[in-house]
């Protein structure tokens, strides 16, 4: 293998984890249906998978883990299911916050907070404030998140800056846009995994995924294990990321 200038052997070594892994956790409903259980049981089991995968991500040396928990389109579901999903975020933060904090996890929630219940917003703020100085693993939870809304919101903020004379329209670059997204300061995901066999982004990180590697797992989210995560990372390791350039082999 030839190394380009500036690249060290350890940078190129296979098995080195992707810096940022993002997961579209899909298939809770089908997991429950297969067992003749209510969908809520699938969502509850999904939270157990979250706990296991967050721990595994820290052990694998992943720096950023983003989990898609509730999309801006998930409000279209029946009210009782929406309530179940809201309740599970509450439960997860209440039950796991202290342990996550002890383990050096920094929590950040992306998405719109305006239409969330006040107690959920308070919990989110508490989790972010308590863990803000942690650095072992950054856990980003996309909740009431939609990529198109995120970009529209960034455009509104930039328009206000332009109106106030603080930004010149001609100065606006992709970096400017990125600075106004909810993910400002978070590197773009190297690897996006979607479980349950569906092959689409469903409005997840649509700006940030420009050069992400996509890996689709057939496992339903509650069945997704650390081994499956390792398999997805192995698949990522076999990919060659070119970012529009030429193959390193010259072919």
Q: Does the footprint of ligand IPE cover residue 147 (CB under 6 A)?
A: no
Catalytic residue among 74, 103, 134, 149: 74
CB 116 within 8 A of CB 43: no
Q: Does the footprint of ligand IPE cover residue 30 (CB under 6 A)?
A: yes
Q: How far is CA 173 from CA 75, 176, 194, in A?
A: 33, 5, 30
DSSP assignment string, 100-155: HHHTTEEEEEES--TTS-HHHHHHHHHHHHHHTT--SEEEEEEEEE-HHHHHHHHH
Min dist CB 112 to ligand IPE, Å, is 14
74 among known catalytic residues: yes
Q: Does the footprint of ligand IPE cover residue 92 (CB under 6 A)?
A: no
C-alpha 135, offset from chain centre: 17
CB 45 within 8 A of CB 28: yes
Binding mask 178-207 for ligand IPE (x = CB under 6 A): ------------------x-x-x-x-----
Q: Does the footprint of Mg ion cover residue 26 (CB under 5 A)?
A: yes
Give Rg (Cα) of the chain: 19
190 among known catalytic residues: no
Indicate which of ligand IPE, Mg ion, none lies near residue 68 (CB less than 5 to 8 Å, by partner kind). ligand IPE
> Which CB, 145 or 180, lies closer to ligand IPE?
145
Positions marked active-site: 26, 74
What residue ranges bind Mg ion (CB under 5 A)? 26
């Amino acid at each position: 293998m030839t190394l380009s200038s500036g690249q060290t052997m350890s940078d190129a070594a296979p098995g080195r984890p992707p810096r940022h892994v993002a997961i579209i956790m899909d298939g809770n409903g089908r997991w429950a249906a297969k067992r003749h259980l209510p969908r809520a049981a699938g969502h509850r089991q999904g939270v157990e998978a979250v706990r296991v995968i967050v721990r595994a991500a820290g052990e694998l040396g992943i720096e950023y883990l983003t989990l898609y928990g509730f999309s801006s389109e998930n409000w279209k579901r029946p009210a009782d299911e929406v309530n179940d999903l809201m309740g599970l975020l509450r439960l997860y933060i209440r039950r796991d916050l202290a342990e996550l904090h002890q383990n050096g996890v920094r929590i950040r929630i992306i998405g719109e907070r305006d239409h969330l219940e006040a107690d959920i917003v308070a919990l989110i703020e508490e989790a972010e404030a308590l863990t803000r100085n942690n650095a072992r693993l950054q856990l980003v939870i996309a909740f009431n998140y939609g990529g198109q809304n995120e970009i529209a919101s960034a455009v509104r903020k930039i328009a206000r800056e332009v109106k106030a004379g603080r930004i010149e329209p001609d100065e606006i670059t992709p970096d400017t846009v990125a600075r106004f997204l909810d993910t400002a300061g978070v590197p773009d995901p190297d690897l996006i995994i979607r479980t349950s066999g569906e092959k689409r982004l469903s409005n997840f990180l649509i700006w940030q995924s420009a050069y992400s590697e996509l890996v689709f797992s057939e496992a339903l989210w509650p069945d997704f294990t650390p081994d499956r995560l390792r398999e997805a990372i192995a698949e990522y390791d076999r990919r060659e990321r070119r970012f529009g350039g030429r193959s390193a082999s010259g072919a």
